[in-house]
Structure 1
């Protein structure tokens, strides 16, 4: 052990002590430099190790993805999973090793330096300063004349005080140097020992881990040998099959045939003529599926529907153009020329298309369908076709509305399209004109291809062509206009539809100024919505009533809030389909959802939530719809609002890692409430909850179930 500074020598302040002190200070400075170098190198080693661990983790992530890719192959999947788990533990061991290294080297040595060195530097400054003061006092004391007794006495006292102060700081400085010299040996050895112990633990854990994997590796070695044998046999079999197919199809003639492993009736390549540039043809992949002609321009693009319903098409050979093997499909709205690669392929496509059309007509759904096949109540309502069993009953129910068996604008029989916000049915040609008006005027849907919600289907039956034509064609005879027929030109039909729905030329107007007439129509719309009078609401909308107009006499309420107060689910749906703002609030800060919750109308709450009503909006009392439902003790509305809020919070918290759709439990509960609101609204009234369960079941049995079809029939009557 190196000798330490002697305190007795320190008091004497001899030249030997000064020399030894200087050597001590030089040694401390050198040690500080060495410790700083070791800590920096340790930091670089830990950073490199962490980068190594991160790279290892990325590699293991790649292995995990490879395992998922091969999940159908149990041998590869099991092998990758087990190796991945073992390597993952090894990465964890590495991470722990680097953490322990950082604590062992960096933290311990840093603690040593920060605990002693700053204090040593401060004490040394004071020691040097007091030493200089002592030197000055000694010089002054020596220079005082013996004849000046007072000055000599003061100088002697100052020298004595300075010497005592110097000795005090010198002893403190020596003590700190000796303590640092003693402590640094312990800390350095402890630091290195902790680092080596961490290495020992790491390699020991790795050895135990690999020893546990040894039986698995032996099993996998046997499997790998068997896989190698099977792979060689499979390659030989593939080469033989390739040779046989190559010899059989040496002619290169493409074949088109039914597809047993697909829903497609037929599929293959055809050339399609551009509708804008008649001389431009593009080769696309075509198929017939679900009574539709579908094509893809390339493998990178999605399927596109060329003809939505082949029953509305005719197919014929095309002989009056220069290109060979051509045929044509025609519908009411468009025609399309196609070209096959050979006469054989052309005939195959002609037969498949005509056969698909004939089959579709033979299997077309009847106008009456059992209620078990009704469309889902909470369906998306989009234009994407659903399963045939869900689409079939819509047509039969819709055509039972008054006048719905013929197109509302030209009178053509068996319409297959409808406007959900106007509540009318129409033929395919008139539906195309309605689409051109814009969705703010007419929202067109197919009665055979699209899914429908129960309330939308009810509107189509409650309003219908007869009722709406009495409103929109009231002044037709006064204007001297004649309604077009089914065989009229498209231009004539388009003029008529624009005059009828855009200009509203034939709607009965009330006398008075235009502004006053609009305000009066808005007031009529509000009162009709409050009473649930759909016909009066449709008339008010046709006469120009603003669907989002505030009624000053009713505290700034809109018609939608009035419908929510009145409790008519169909009135709410009609207003929403015609652009009503679901989140408008009156002068008291209450919206339609507040009104429905206050009145206890569960069906309206369900509908408004589906249409995006803000369930967090607070009224002037600071109450949101949930607080109102709790205050009125309506258990069903509280359940709906809490489930909707929970579903929204879960969707927000999951973010990009969440599922694409909403929570299934929430959707099931929502579907049950929607079903009850549409089919059996009496069960949702507040007075029903006080009765016993047996009485409710008896009432349900007396009613004989229910459904969209029964409820529509009951309402139509």
Structure 2
């Protein structure tokens, strides 16, 4: 227990009592200043807490309003409502905490100060005053002369009365000081305990509230995990589309394009000449849809039909005008001049318009010969036109059915969406960008979802595939101590791996006993593999360094492509052409691959070589071209193909600039039919049709072809 003022010492008014009294008074004064400071800070804290609670309430309201703008399902909405309700309760708990704090600190301590300190101060003033009176009475009593009996008696009585009064006030003052010291200890501890208890209640309530919200938190965490995965997937798709636009093989002019998945054939910006002001041109957005030419002046305006029926229109190029890249649409009622941004886009629109007109005539005619005409290749930015979905299966599903094609050939990422035509492998979007940087002489990359694929190219992916090609290009990976990168590996590591794999061919296992003595593979190996149609052996020979157009002296200077044409393997021809084989190379007898295919009667090879640009006018040492060889062999299918190809070239040359708008439709239809039959039903083309009774007629055709 702390020491208190002694009442006996108080009556004596000893120096020890005075010292203790001074110490007590100092403690009371110091405690009063502390109490005043605590109550002021408590008031400020409570005011700030009230402002915090009101601001927090506004914040939660705005947060609830923000949540309503999110498209969420019922589970997420329920979780958000529970979260908002729980947070609102937390704000109520905060308000209760501040109220309890104010009662615990301010009110209890204020009672202590108002109940004891004012009375204590008043008693002290009386104690000091009576103490001064006692000093005065004692001084007077001491100064009275002994010869003045009456004065001495009065001074003695006054001194006695003053002493009694002083003792009474001193005892009261000591009692109040002792009582204050005892009471302040209990009140301060009670105030602190009440504050701590309020804090304990607040946090306990918060804990109970959060524990009740724990199932909701788990449900929301599962929803967020799924949402995060969906966001990553969607963001990756956006990145892939973004990268696709950057990596297009086109010339960079993508201002006009077809619209997959919609009825629009083509759309893009064109300048339209005003009908009333011939020198005024306005840039508008044009679309070909449902055999109509539609345009929109701005994004705020509605679409307007410029030509109701394109079948009643003619399209031609405008050369006699000061502006470049102009063309005109003519109908019975009106005409309209349009201008593209470049010659390439102009030809694209001309081809699309003419193709739409031709398509409308075939569809309305009721007797279409074949599938609808494919959109011009210029619109897609590809070498070959897109494949109609009714004609061939989806490229992605076919490509992923190949051995190991379900993962990227270079990093193992699942579900690749890109492929290399000449290598016969599938890859992810990041590895496809690295492949593109190698150059098309090493890897020709295309999208399995956005680009067009021919049957021969898809078959290469199915027959070769990632497992076979990695078995060739990664044969010595373990010997070199090299670790293949994964999907999570950084891009520089993947770039180094791909360059070592395909450019340096560091991991290819050489067939020879000493690779240093045989730096290049004998071209005869590639020739024999092509002759037999062994794609795996051909791929291995090319990986080991065989020249794709290297000639074989012992085979009359033939190349592997000529061997593939002789052997009759359509895929072998396509594989060699995709890897840069010279399609017009001729052997020592002056015969090329087209001569060999015509001689052997392989219609599929003839169709493929013509599509890839083989020269059908080249003659051998005997003066015979492929058509003459086919006529002599009486192969009606090959004769038809060669004559149609020759007729198409002659028509294209005679039409001049309009010949670039599109080849003859019949020629395209026949080639498509032959190409599909060669890819899917090659046995139907294996026969050789001998024309009975028509030898004289073929002989006359042969004589005419010489001239």
What is the TM-score when the length of structure 1 is the normalising length?
Answer: 0.44
- Please say which structure displays the higher CA radius of gyration: 2
TM-score normalised to structure 2 length: 0.44
